[in-house]
Structure formats: structure tokens, C-alpha cells
Structure 1
Amino acid sequence: MSAFSRFTPLVESLPATVPFVGPEAIERNRGLRVAARIGANENGFGPAPSVIEAMKAHAGEIWQYNDPENHALKQALGRHLGLPAGHIGIGEGIDGLLGLIVRLVISGGETVVTSLGAYPTFNYHVAGFGGRLVTVPYANDREDLDGLLETARREKARLVYLANPDNPMGSWWEADEIVAFARAIPEDTLLILDEAYSETGPASALPPADALVDRTNVIRTRTFSKAYGLAGARVGYTISTPGNASAFDKIRHHFGMNRLATEAALAALKDQDYLRDVVRRIAASRDRIASIAAENGLLPLPSATNFVAIDAGGDGVRARAIVDGLMELGVFIRMPGVAPLNRCIRVSTGPDAAIDLFAEALPKVLAGLRR
């Protein structure tokens, strides 16, 4: 059956898009079982036991709406970051916040600058609100700060997106370089500084929480999806000026936050011992993935995230063959979508049992390709 015929012209012009094909869809469509789920940059180590207990304790309250002002979580994040709570915005994961930011800033045809091959969900939001996307190629597998800045100035961009550490390559810039970049962005251009992987990178890559709060044209985004192990809960937050934080109240879904997810985030912030432990486990898993890649003649790239990008020694066709071959053996991974980044495969960290399956399957797939 065809769709309703009176959608807006913009919506009519857009393809129906799912930025990421999930492992569930692969299982449905290909009749395969995912035995090692190490492709979506989830934290396979999961949240702290204290977080699970908090969700159980509050499960009976699920009939209640979440506090539409997200007061408790803003206060807790403010204490954790050493900032007044007015600098904090709350949303349904970074993905939801990105959509709100684009909606706040972009109207039809205005220019948005990002890196070619960077996080595709951001591009999805830009298209959905009618923005004009201008991309800057990576330089040596890292987002090109000089290129992004020059392009933003030349194009008079309304919005620039930069992730540090970066997805999909795992690369990073040092904090002083990021701060200098942010301060050089034109004042009428808003910078989204996506710090989803801030906890898994080196401390030297993360500007202090208060480093850019004086900049009205900078919004930093963070999440509980990665190191805290709450990807399914959808809890993200922003750090910005109070004026920017309150702007979300003009358009956000005030009952969009999940009550149990909020309790989980509050409990996760309290359990910093678990966070430190899981970050160590992520780093150890990252090292093991790199070793497996090297043992099989592939080149692991340095990573500050909870995944490792691995140069598969060819082009996108070869990388796709490895991804598909691993999936045939029950190992779900992904690859970047844009050349030349798509010469790589990308493997998320996880428990030893999942990485064992990757270590067992990879040489079989590579041997099959050689044949």
C-alpha cells in the first residue's frame, strides 16, 4: 500500500533510511544467529550491578511519567562535572539531542559542515530538517581540524559537527587542540562537539568540563550508552551555556525520558569504581582485538574508543567480504561506509567469550578470501 500523498515536499524527497542495520535485522533477513555481538559499539560488559539493582528497585514506578524537568539527573551531573546544573541538558541519547540541535539551528538550505564518513545519524538529521551538508575528507584517518575550520568559514556554515574521540576510526585530538579549534570557529557558527567516547579515551584528549562553557556557539554532547553500558536506556546530555541548555525546552519532548533509564543513569554516576574497572576492561579488550588483527596480517589503528578500526588491506569490497564472512560464522561487526575509510572493518570491545569467537572466525574468513 502506498504512503499518504500529502507529506511535506522535503519528506517526499527523502529516502526511507535506517542509518545502521541492526543485528536483529540481519538475523531476520539472512536466517543467521548472532553469537558475538561486537559491531554496534555497545558495551558488552554491561552496566554496573548496582545499576541493575536500582532499575529493579524502581520498576514498580514505571506507571509514572519521568520528571519532565529531569531535575535530579541534571543536579547529579552538575555535581559530577563540577558545574552548575543550568549548564546541563538531558535527552534521549546523543542521537535524540543531535536531532534537537539541528532543529534549533537549521532551516531549509542552510549549510552544515561535517567530516566525510563521520557519524551518519547526524547527516540523517541534517537531511530531515532540510540542511545542506558539506563534507571534509579525513586526513590520515583522523578528522581534519584545519579542513573543517576552513570549510566552515568559506561556506558560512550555521553548524559544524566534530566527534572527539572519533567514530568510525577511533582517532582523537588532544584537549588543547580541540579547545583551540572550538575557539576559532566563527561566532555565528554552532559547534557540536560529540564526546560519546570521552570516558574510554586518554584523559589528555578531554577538555575540562568548564573549558568551553563561556562559548555560546559550542554544545558538547555525552552519553551513558558507551562506558556506562546503557545503550538501550537512551540517556544523553549536553554541556553548554545555560542559555543553550534552556533552548531545548522550546522543542524537546518533555516526557521523552524513560523513568527507569533515569534511575539507571543516577545509579551509574554513583558507581565510579565500576566505571573505572570497565574502562580498564575495555582497554584490555581493545589491545586483544588489535593483537588478533596483527596476528592475521591486518593493521589495527590506534583507538581511544570502545572499538578498533582495522585496515583490512584492500578496499571496501574486501572489507565487506570480511564483514559478511564473519556474520556467516555468527560474528557481527561493522565497517565504515565511505571510501577510503571503508577499507577498514570495525570491531567493538567485549567479553572474552565474544572476542574468542572473533579470533576463531577471522582466520577462517581470510583463508576463504585467499582461496
Structure 2
Amino acid sequence: MAKPRLTPLIESLPAMVPFVGPEALVRARGKPFRARIGANENVFGPSPRAIAAMAEAAAGNWMYADPESFELREALAQFHGVDRANIVVGEGIDGLLGLTVKLTIDPGDTVVTSNGTYPTFNFHVAAAGGRLVRVPYRDDRQDLGALLDAAIAEDARLLYVCNPDNPMGSFWQADKLQELIAALPDGLLLCLDEAYCDTATAMQPLAFDVGNSQVIRMRTFSKAYGLAGARIGYAVGEAGLIAQFEKVRNHYGINRVGQIGALAALGDQAYLADVVGRIDRARGMLGDIALRNGLQPLPSGANFVAMDCGHDGAYARRVLDGLLARDVFARMPGTAGLDRCIRVSCGTDADLDVFAAALPQAIADADAE
């Protein structure tokens, strides 16, 4: 049978989804979850201002979004104290990560990342034919020194750091990131994925230095702002670097309703502060639930808590399966060493009550096998 000619690179790659979505699990199970606390979504939802703005905008969906995202970029620039030329808006951080790889990586070029951190980044590198060097975690944190050493030794073009980190929730303070940035060799771009920075109440924020063309920082409206379904992310960097995105980005790929909702959400910082407070409270409650059941919660700056089950990955998988059997959607890291943990997103009091009731039963099941 006749068929199209795909590139050898694409032909060689497996077809897979980085994360099995809760919707797929619901279809397979034939029933909904009682607690959806596995996808690091903000269950507290977006600002009422954002909801109202998006509802009003829905009737105008016959129009394309502004391809320049002018108003949103202008507002973000004022918010961060930079120029509009320092910001590009994209289809979530995932879309911007793909564009960053496209801008920097030719087949065979080296990219350095941590072994176990946000895996969707690795898909972009694979699709570009990049050579991925994975650096082990140290004490459940990304090892900044080892990452830098690997990038230098391998003559890497791109270094990816997720801060706060997914899936462990750990984070580095601004002074350590400054040390990393100061030591970057010529020709290396540091991509800082800061999807969870808004929820990291104990993290000292890193000041923006848009004069440094070797650093690009990714932010999103998917987490603290509660707009995961809108797919609006943005990158902040040196103007010359940001201008390169105009050569490769999908100019009409932005969701117009999401674009308008993000602008309204950014303008409601009082609501954001309230939500971050609720996330912080839920983190504490998740930690208490873990401790009551003999699990060790890891310090987290994200909107989830990783819980050390005290055994190997097979045991943690049994605990996770026990939760799923009791209609609780949670996840776990997929890398050996980290997979001794389960990872539970912050939820409402009702969500956490369901989790608190299901966890001891899931642990009992895991112990019995």
C-alpha cells in the first residue's frame, strides 16, 4: 500500500503520551474519580474576573486571537518590570519549550536535563534529534552543580532546569540560581521552567535580568492562576532572543478566550494571593495526612506534595493502584529512585478528606501483597 514518506527520525520515535490523562482513566474505569488530585491542576479555579471575561469573550470566538498578544504582553511587561519586547506568549509552557528546542538544537546537539524532571521537555528534544544527557537528582533535588558540569563537559547547547521542580516539588533559592547563571559557558542557553513559582511561598524569587541572553524563563497561567485548560504560557528573556520566536512560533495558535482570561486573571492579584494561601494550606494538610500514615512528605514549593512511601517503586505503584481503586486520581514519578514516592496535588477539603480515607486502605493493600 502506498504511504507518505516520514523522516527517519520521526519514524524511529515511539508514539506515546507523556502523561495518561485522567479522562483516559475515567473512560477505562467507566466511572469518575471522587478526588481528581493527580494532574497538578488548581482545583480552586480561576479568578471570577477571568471567568466573566472569558464568558463575555466566547461570543467573539469567530475572531482569531491577536497574533501579537499585544495587551497581554503589555500587561505582563508592566507586571514584571520589563519591556514588551522581552516577552513572547505561547500555547502553555509546553509549546514554548518546543519552540526553544527548535531555536537551539540541530540533530546531534547536546541538551542537559535532570533525570526524572518534567518529561515533556524530553519529547521536544527527541523530536529535534537532540542528544539528551540526564543528570541524577541529589537528595531529591536537581543537582545544579552537576548539571553545569555536565553541560560544560558535553558542550551542551541547552540546559533545562525546572524550579520548583516537577515531580518532587523541591526548589532552589535565587542565590543558587544566580551562581549557576554566572557560571554558564558561552554558547549555552539556560531554560528555567518556573511553572510553579507563583505557589512557592518560601522561595526567594530570582530577579529578572533581561540583559542576559543566555537565560530564558518560562511562566504559565495554568497553575496558580487556575487556567490550565486555556493553554496560555509566556517566556521572558533578552529582546534579541525573544525576537527569534517570531520566526518559528504559531502566530494564530493562541486561544483567544484564554488570552482574554489570562489578562483578567493577571489583573486580579488579590484573588491570586487568596488561592496561593489555600494551596499552601492544602500542602500542609497533605503533609499531615502523609505523616499520619507513615509516609514522609517532601518539602514542596509547588501545588502538590511528593510522599516517600519508604520502599521501592513497585511498592509505591501498589499504593497508587490502591488509591485509583478507591476513586482517587494521583500520580507518581517515573524514574527509578524517585519512584519510591507518590505525588498528590493540592485539593479542596473534600478532596483531601477522600484522600485521607483512601490512603490507609491503599497502604494496607500494598503491604498485603
TM category, shorter = over 0.9
Deviations 1:181-236 (A, max 9, x none): 0121112011101111111113643202x2x3121111000000000000010000
Q: Aligned residue for 1:215?
A: 212
Report the alpha carbon displacement of residue 5 of structure 1 after superposing the two structures with TM.
4.8
Name the CA distance, whole Å, in 2 between partners of 1:41 and 1:3.
43
Identity of matched residues, %:
56
Q: Aligned residue for 1:34?
A: 33
Whether 2:341 is the aligned partner of 1:353: answer: no
Moved more, 132-141 or 196-205: 196-205
Name the CA distance, whole Å, in 2 between partners of 1:37 and 1:239.
32
Deviations 1:280-328 (A, max 9, x none): 0000000000000000010000001100000011111011111111011
What is the SS of the residue equivalent to 1:143? Answer: coil
Q: Aligned residue for 1:117?
A: 116
1:277 to 270, 274, 279: 274
Q: Aligned residue for 1:369?
A: 366
Deviations 1:20-41 (A, max 9, x none): 0001111122334212110010
Name the CA distance, whole Å, in 1 between partners of 2:100 and 2:62.
30
Task: State how 1:85-100 maps to structure 2 within 5 Å.
Answer: 85-100=84-99
Over 3 Å counting, the alpha-carbon distance change for 1:323 and 1:32 in structure 2 is farther
Whether 2:181 is the aligned partner of 1:170: answer: no
Q: Does the 8 Å CA contact 2:304/2:345 hold for their aligned counterparts?
A: yes
Q: Aligned residue for 1:317?
A: 314
Name the CA distance, whole Å, in 2 between partners of 1:176 and 1:71.
33
Q: Does the 8 Å CA contact 1:34/1:331 hold for their aligned counterparts?
A: yes
C-alpha RMSD of matched pairs (Å)? 1.2
Whether 2:339 is the aligned partner of 1:339: answer: no
1:330 to 304, 315, 327: 327
Question: Which structure 2 segments of 5+ residues have no match?
Answer: none
Over 3 Å counting, the alpha-carbon distance change for 1:204 and 1:26 in structure 2 is closer
What is the SS of the residue equivalent to 1:199? Answer: helix
Name the CA distance, whole Å, in 1 between partners of 2:336 and 2:367.
23
Q: Does the 8 Å CA contact 1:32/1:328 hold for their aligned counterparts?
A: no
Question: Which structure 1 segments of 5+ residues have no match?
Answer: none
Q: Aligned residue for 2:72?
A: 73
Q: Does the 8 Å CA contact 1:172/1:205 hold for their aligned counterparts?
A: no
2:305 to 301, 304, 308: 308
Calculate the TM-score normalised by the size of structure 2. 0.98
Calculate the TM-score normalised by the size of structure 1. 0.97
Q: Aligned residue for 1:144?
A: 143
Equivalent residues, number: 368
